[in-house]
Amino acid sequence: MLRIATESEGTPAEEQTAFAGLPALAALLPHAVSPRGLLVEWLSEGSGSGVVSLAARSVLQQLEQTAWAVIDPDGDFFPAMCGWSPSMSKPLVLRPGSAQDLFWTVEQCLRCPGLGLTWCRVERAPPLVLRRWKLAAETGGGTGFLFRPASARKQPTWADLRWLVTTQPGTAAGRRWRIETLYCRGGFSGAAVILEQHHATGAVRVVAELGSATGAPRTPQAARAGAGAVC
Amino acid sequence: MLHEHPRLRGRALVLFADAGQRGLRVTACSAEAAQAGVRPGWPLAEARAMLSGVRSRKQTGAAPAWRRSDPAGDRESLQRLALDAQQFCPFVGIDDAGESLLLDITGCAHLWQDERGLLQEVVTRFRSQGYVTQAAIADTIGGAWGVAHTLSKPTIVPPGETAAALRPLPLEALRFPAAVISGLQDFGVTTVGGLWDLPRDSLPSRFGCDLLRRLDQATGKLRETFTPERFAEPLVEIWAAEEPLTDQMQLATVCRPLLDRLLAALMPQRAGLLDWRCRLQTVSGPVEWDWRLSQPTTDGRHLDQLFRLRCEREPLQQGVTGLRIEVLRAGLLAEQQSTLFEDQRDAGGRDLLQLVDRLTSRLGENAVVQPIFLPDPQPESSCRMEPWTSAPREHEFRPDPLLARNRPSRLLRVPQSLEAMSVVPDGPPLRLFWQGRRWNVHQSWGPERIDTGWWRTRDVRRDYYRVETEEGRHLWLFRRRDTSQWFLHGFFD
């Protein structure tokens, strides 16, 4: 009876959907995605692209509720985002010294049920390692974020989702990104949206796009998200 | 106290404790404080006034140090010294007052040629560690205590002459309570010899039975014993083989039953393994591995994993002929209400700590860290990474949310020098030359002026700018105000 009652109530992780902090991103997906066992690749070009802060904002609620780990092989991670919210838990920062240790560390973190989110900046990872990470994420039930260079789009992936984040010239109000779905398991890819983050408040909104005959196709969910909506 | 905190040396140090309705009282003080007039038993406020007056008159020397006395800590320190002193003789104890070490040197003096050699060795050893040492050898515990506490230089009382040696000493040499000493002094008795001259039968009714007991203990008429300090029984499991083991997996297989036996030995005390050491005897010499766990554990499988990970991290080049596993520290297991089904939150916390143990075992303690924020405006000093296993802080500083939004997510350990062009002197950059190419600045925010660090090695005088390049990248730059040189310090990734 206890088990039945527990299951009917549902755990917080089951109630959540992925990217709850940025509904515009969730709207690009063909269906609601659970964060449990999810492996996501964020592709971007060069340093200073803002992809990490964008990803952190998309899972802000998750970061406040669960433990999270940052694999930082270069040792230059600065936890500024811990100051965004007073209730955000502190990350477990890991600094593996070699590529082998890096692969092992990511797998261990993804496999651990006690971690809600694991993120790592990795340039190259063999397909076998990526496959192991995907299986580890499914075993652990957490979410894995991999930040990779845009050149990795030509490489095969075992991730459930692959975003391409392209920086765009910002305005006086905020900085902008174009986010495109390169791959989504069980759905179509190619949906894109332009987001703008306000400098002072940190709020992210969808930028209205002018109609274009050659623009990337958008899913019905993306259209529903609407232009100008604050996320 | 001075031994553990050397920076307090040379300063007037006063220990105090709460004396109930009498308020805070001085319990002990250093020679510097005593020289200024402070005495144990004084109200703390009076001692403060005395020392501040002396300091203001002299205008020299460091400020006095005030510490709350810690009798339990003192006792532990003395116990450690007693265990250390077992190198001189097997029976070393602590006196009733918890202030002195008692060494039973019966049959041990010849190891240092004679009693003088032994006494000299004891004094030299403790003085080399920074302790002020007073020592004496006598036939009885009371006699040695009295001589050591009243004569400043190390003294040996010849056999059978303890009573004669005590006779000229003051009454404090017999471990009497202060009230008894005061009462005797009212009668004009100031030395041990004077006390012995009084009729023995009349003493208990006037000063209590304790007086005669101490008197007889000092002369040896009443037998006195002490309880020697003992090392805690070590929890050790040993394995040895004639043929060296070269396969690491075989080694792990050998190690597992040893760990299980240690865990079984801890189980009756409801304790788990916290710190443990494995000493591997290899052909070329011994190798020691230490583990520090996040929480006490009785999970043999977890310990086995840690051992295997260590084998992977530090593969042994030589075959292993012996294995010795020792429990360095055990911890009580957390009490928890057992439930029919496992609570996922508890399981998550346990899984996380076990993950930390595994990661620490393979990557090392300094590679498994947590950020600690500090109220320092200098960016590289505002956050320090500490091992995850370090003790948590009660009141932790949190950065301001507005400031946190203006800090990059990647901060370079060493700022990189770059070229920048501005339209106006000391203005924002319009063009950057970095990584061999030109970057046009689309817009910039700043400056955020940071002037700090003058108390460290050198001043930090910087004007920080957050710049957006034409490609939309956000960089964090600063210009040194003293040299006008530009540096890249971080990325808003």
Q: Are B405 and B479 in contact (CB under 8 A)?
A: no
Residue of A nearest to B493 (CA): A50
Whether A145 and A117 have beta carbons less than 8 Å apart is answered as yes
Q: In angstroms, what separates the C-alpha of A103 from chain B's closest C-alpha? A: 12
A143 contacts A40 by C-beta, under 8 angstroms: yes
How many whole angstroms separate alpha carbon A68 and alpha carbon A91? 5
How many other C-beta atoms are found inside a 10 Å radius of the C-beta of residue A156? 10
Q: Do A92 and B404 touch (CB under 8 A)?
A: no
Residue A68, burial from CB neighbour count under 10 angstroms (0-12, 13-18, 19+): buried
Report the C-alpha gap between B407 and B210 in whole angstroms. Answer: 71
% of chain A exceeding 90 in pLDDT = 40
ipTM for the predicted complex comes to: 0.83
Please write the tens of the pLDDT for every residue from B199-214.
888 888 888 888 888 8
Cβ contact, residue pair B472, A109, below 8 Å? no
In B45-87, where do the E strands start and end? 65-68
Q: Do B404 and A83 touch (CB under 8 A)?
A: yes
Q: How many CB atoms lie within 10 A of CB A37?
A: 18
Distance (Å, whole) CA B147 – CA B120? 16
Q: Report the distance separating Cα B440 and Cα B181, nearest Å.
A: 89
**What is residue A15's predicted lDDT score, i.e. its pLDDT?**
56
Local confidence band at A179 (pLDDT 50, 70, 90 cut-offs): very high
H or E element that contains B102? strand B101-104
pLDDT of residue A4: 40
User: What is residue B96's DSSP assignment?
Assistant: T
Is A6 within 8 Å of B341 when comparing Cβ atoms?
yes
Under a CB-based contact definition with an 8 Å cutoff, are residues B13 and B33 in contact?
yes
Residue of B nearest to A105 (CA): B359
- A189-208 pLDDT, tens digit each: 788 899 998 887 888 888 87
DSSP B381: G
Give the residue with greater pLDDT, B270 vs B262.
Answer: B262
Average pLDDT, chain A: 82
- In order of A84, B2, B39, B66, B253, the CA distances from B50 in angstroms are 50, 22, 11, 13, 68
Residue A224 has pLDDT above 90, yes or no: no
Q: Best of A78, A89, A165, A176 to disrupt the B interface by mutation (most B CBs within 10 Å)?
A: A78
State CA B202 to chain mean position distance: 51
* Among the partner residues A2, A67, A115, nearest to B341 by beta-carbon distance: A2
The reported pLDDT for the residue numbered B129 is: 84
Listed in sequence order, the DSSP H helices in B202-343 are 203-207, 209-219, 248-266, 300-313
Which residues 6+ apart lie within 8 Å of B324 measured at CB? B236, B237, B238, B239, B278, B279, B281
| Chain B contact present for A141, CB below 8 A | no
A32-46, A215-229, B290-304, B357-371: which has the minimum mean pLDDT? A215-229
Q: How many CB atoms lie within 10 A of CB A182?
A: 18
Please state which of the ranges A55-64, A80-89, A122-131, B121-130 shows the lowest mean pLDDT: A80-89
Q: How far apart are CA A147 and CA A166, in angstroms?
A: 13
Q: How many contacts does A have with B, using Cβ atoms within 8 A?
A: 159
Higher-confidence position of B233 and A78: A78
Chain A nearest C-alpha distance from B412 (Å): 6
* A50: pLDDT strictly greater than 50: yes
Q: What is the pLDDT of residues B64-115, one digit of tens each?
A: 888 888 888 888 888 888 888 888 998 999 988 888 999 999 988 888 889 9
The rounded distance, in Å, linking the Cα atoms of B209 and B185 is 18
Q: Which residues, in sequence order, are bridge partners of residue A180?
A: A164, A192
pLDDT for the residue B404:
80
Instruction: Please tell me the distance from the alpha carbon of residue A162 to that of residue B127, in angstroms, as a whole number.
Output: 69
Instruction: Please report, as a single letter, which amino acid is at residue A165.
Output: V
For B156-213, the pLDDT digits (tens) are 999 989 989 999 999 889 888 888 888 888 888 899 998 888 888 888 888 888 888 8
**Beta-carbon count within 10 A of B33 CB:** 25
